[in-house]
Amino acid sequence: MPQIALQLYTLREPARQDLAGTLERARAIGWEYVQWSGMPDLPAQAIRTALDKAGLKAVAAHCAMEPFETDFHDAVQFWKTVGVTDVAPGGMMGNCRDTLEAWRDGAKRLDAIGARLNEAGLRLSYHNHASEFDYFDGDPRRKIDILYESTQPDRLYAEWDVAWVQVGGADPADYLRRYAGRSPVIHVKDLAAQPRDGNAWFVPLGTGVLDWNAIFEAGREARVQWYIYEQDTCDGDIFDDLQISYEFLRKSSLDRA
C-alpha cells in the first residue's frame, strides 16, 4: 500500500518561530513521516534529534546538488544521519536553466550524481515546477521530457508535483503513466480555481480543482510508493489545512489499498 508523508516546507513559517512545537503539532494531527525542506539550517544530528523527539521520521529531503559534486561523502553522511532514503533538488541547478545546452549539461550532472547515490544507497529524484513544461527554441519537447530522456531511469526519478504539472499546462495523470515505474515519490498539492495576483494559489487537498480520482488511479498504475502532501500558500491557519489534507490523503490511500 502506498504511504503518506508531509513536506515540511508547508510549515516553514511556524517552524521559524518554534521548530520543536511545529513538529509536535504535525505529529499530533497524525503525520508520521516527513520530507525535510524549508526548515531551519541545522546539523544532521540536530535534525535527527528534533524529529526523533517529535516522533517523526524523515523519508526524503530537498537539498542542493552541488555538495554531492564537491564533497560526496560528507553530503551522503549528512542525509543518512537524518535517516532519509530519497533526496531531490527543488529544481534545476542555477547555471543549467537558461539554454538547451545548459539544460542538457544539468541532465548529465544529475545523471552522474544519481549513479553515485545509487551505490551509496540513496535515490535521486527531480522536483518540478511549472517552468519545466516550457520549451527551448529548436526542440519540440518540453524541458521536463528532455531531462528524463537524457538520464537513466534508475539514476534520476520523477518527484512529480502534480499541481505544478497542471499549472504548466499538462495532465498529472498522463505524466504519471508516461513515467510509470519512475515516479516512486510524488508531491500531492491542490490548486485553487483562481490565481492570486497572477500566481497559482494552493489549498487543502480535496478542496481545489485537481482530479484526484484520476491522479490516484494513475498513481496506482505508476506504482507510486509515497504521496507527500505539500501546500505553499494558506488562507487561514496552516494547521487546519494540515488536518484537512491528512484526513483526505489517509482516506484516499486506504480506499486504494
Q: What is the pLDDT along the chain (257 residues), one digit of tens a residue?
A: 899 999 999 999 999 999 999 999 999 999 999 999 999 999 999 999 999 999 999 999 999 999 999 999 999 999 999 999 999 999 999 999 999 999 999 999 999 999 999 999 999 999 999 999 999 999 999 999 999 999 999 999 999 999 999 999 999 999 999 999 999 999 999 999 999 999 999 999 999 999 999 999 999 999 999 999 999 999 999 999 999 999 999 998 656 55
Q: What is the pLDDT of residue 27?
A: 98
Residue 6's beta-bridge partner residues?
34, 229
Contacts of 63-72 with C-beta under 8 Å, sequence gap 24+, read: 63/87, 63/88, 63/89, 64/89, 65/89, 65/93, 65/109, 65/110, 65/113, 66/93, 68/113, 68/116, 68/117, 69/109, 69/113, 72/116, 72/120
C-alpha cell at 237: 491557519
Q: What is the pLDDT of residue 111?
A: 98
Which residue from 174, 209, 214, 175 is spatially nearest to 191, judged by alpha carbons?
A: 209
> Could you tell me the pTM of the whole model?
0.96
Q: Are strands 157-159 and 3-7 parallel, antiparallel or unpaired?
A: unpaired
Helix, strand, or coil (residue 195): coil
Domains of the chain, earliest start first: 3-255 (3.20.20.150)
Neighbours of 53 (CB within 10 A): 12
Residue indicated by cell numbers 494531527: 29
Helix, strand, or coil (residue 6): strand
Residue indicated by cell numbers 525542506: 37
Query: 19-29 and 44-54 are packed helices; what angle lies between their axes, rounded to 10 degrees?
Result: 40
Q: What is the pLDDT of residue 252?
A: 85
Residues 188/194, Cβ–Cβ less than 8 Å: no
Phi, psi of 182 (to 5 degrees): -115, 10
**Rounded CA gap, 109 and 96, in Å?**
10
C-alpha cell at 55: 516522533
Written as one letter, the residue type at 37 is S
Residue 102's beta-bridge partner residues?
none
Q: What is the pLDDT of residue 1?
A: 85
**Rounded CA gap, 106 and 62, in Å?**
17
Whole-number CA gyration radius for the chain: 18
